[in-house]
Amino acid sequence: MHKEITIYDIAARLNISAATVSRALKDHPRVSKATKKLVAKTSDEMGYRSNSFASNLRKKQSSIIGVIVPRLNSNFMADVLAGIEKVANSNNYNLFISQSLESTKKEASNAQAMLNNRVDGLLVSVAYDTTNFDHFESFIRRNIPVIFFDRVFEHESCPQIYIDNYKAAHDITDHLIKQGSKRIVHIGGNQLRNVYAERLQGYKRALEENNLLFDENLVIISDLTSKAGSDAAYKILKMSPLPDGLFVANDICAIGCMQVLKKEGINIPSDIAVAGFNNDPTATVIEPALTTVNYKGYEMGEVAAKLMINHLVDKDDFQETHSLILRSELIIRESSLRNNLQK
């Protein structure tokens, strides 16, 4: 069996103290160049690897960032994680990643695990039904930074990173109206979550500005799955008169809906102009290609990780950066384009 080499073994071999080895390994300024070189060489030869537990225990910090997301297998979240990993990795931070599977209970137990594992900071996008902050209180009490992204939770000590869902939803609805839609259905998500609530508000605001009446019968709240989209399609088909516009709070659901509408002989965009949200890869595959809001997950991940690491390293205060709003953009495609005038 392989015997693990410690700094004491290196020290013994070189007839110096473990303290010096430790310093040399960390490139401490007050160690001679010669010693450093020698230590580096010897530790290589002996197959030394540092023990992060001992070091973390001693230093009382872990260089681990915890990440809790609703689900790992969503296109958007995968992008976010890729962005986070990129930044964390290049700053020598490790990532603990777990998923809440949209359950507050699991979110809480994951948070507890992160706490026990002494993460230096926590990045969270909250579950569908999370309505209280209890499971994060213990982080705040210990001054462990918690940053929310995308699906955020309002708390004075926690910065938030998101896009302007209100404005994006407003703009996309406005676009549908400019294309001649007057009765626009909105398929939205759980109104507890900022992202979905704001999309509904943006939709309302656009109607208002264009002197269209808000009709709550035109709003369908769902879990925004593809299945929810096809279910919604059947509801829409029964509406009379038939709506002439559709704004769905995510692309997956929009596409599920479009597939049924198409099958039932509805022409998109001439009968119903459709818009989604997220710019999912499928949005360019469906025919007609789906108008949507481009939502940069990768960038959001990078920004979240950078903000966290800056805070961890500089201990600069969060006060100044309470909210970080990322740019999003309207991408107009055939599913909503009724004429060339507005292009």
Q: Say whether residue 16 binds DNA (CB under 7 A).
A: yes
Which CB, 100 or 194, lies closer to a second copy? 100
| Strand partners of residue 23 | none
Contact stretch for a second copy (CB under 8 A) within 13-21, 90-98, 146-154, 197-205: 90-98
Which CB, 11 or 220, lies closer to DNA? 11
Q: Say whether residue 187 binds DNA (CB under 7 A).
A: no
**Contacts for 341 with CB less than 8 Å, ≥ 6 apart:** none
Q: Say whether residue 89 binds a second copy (CB under 8 A).
A: yes
Rounded to an integer, what distance in angstroms lies between the CA atom of residue 14 and that of residue 290? 67
Output Rg (C-alpha) for the chain, integer angstroms.
26
Contact stretch for a second copy (CB under 8 A) within 6-14, 50-58, 120-128, 208-216: 50-58
Rounded to an integer, what distance in angstroms lies between the CA atom of residue 267 and that of residue 213? 24
Which residues within the stretch 34-93 sit at the binding site for DNA (CB under 7 A)? 34-35, 48, 50-51, 54-55, 57-60
Rounded to an integer, what distance in angstroms lies between the CA atom of residue 66 and that of residue 113? 10
Q: Say whether residue 47 binds a second copy (CB under 8 A).
A: yes
| Other Cβ atoms closer than 10 A to 256 | 23
Q: What are the CA-CA distances from residue 278 to residues 68, 69, 246, 304, 318 (Å)?
A: 20, 17, 15, 18, 28
Cβ 147 vs Cβ 159: under 8 Å: yes
Which CB, 200 or 248, lies closer to a second copy? 248
Cβ 100 vs Cβ 110: under 8 Å: yes
- List residues near DNA by CB under 7 A: 4, 6-8, 15-20, 22-23, 25-26, 29-32, 34-35, 48, 50-51, 54-55, 57-60
- List residues near a second copy by CB under 8 A: 1-2, 4, 47, 49-54, 56-57, 62, 71-75, 77-79, 81-82, 85-86, 89, 92, 94-99, 110, 113, 115-118, 138, 141-143, 252, 255, 259, 281-282, 285-287, 297-298
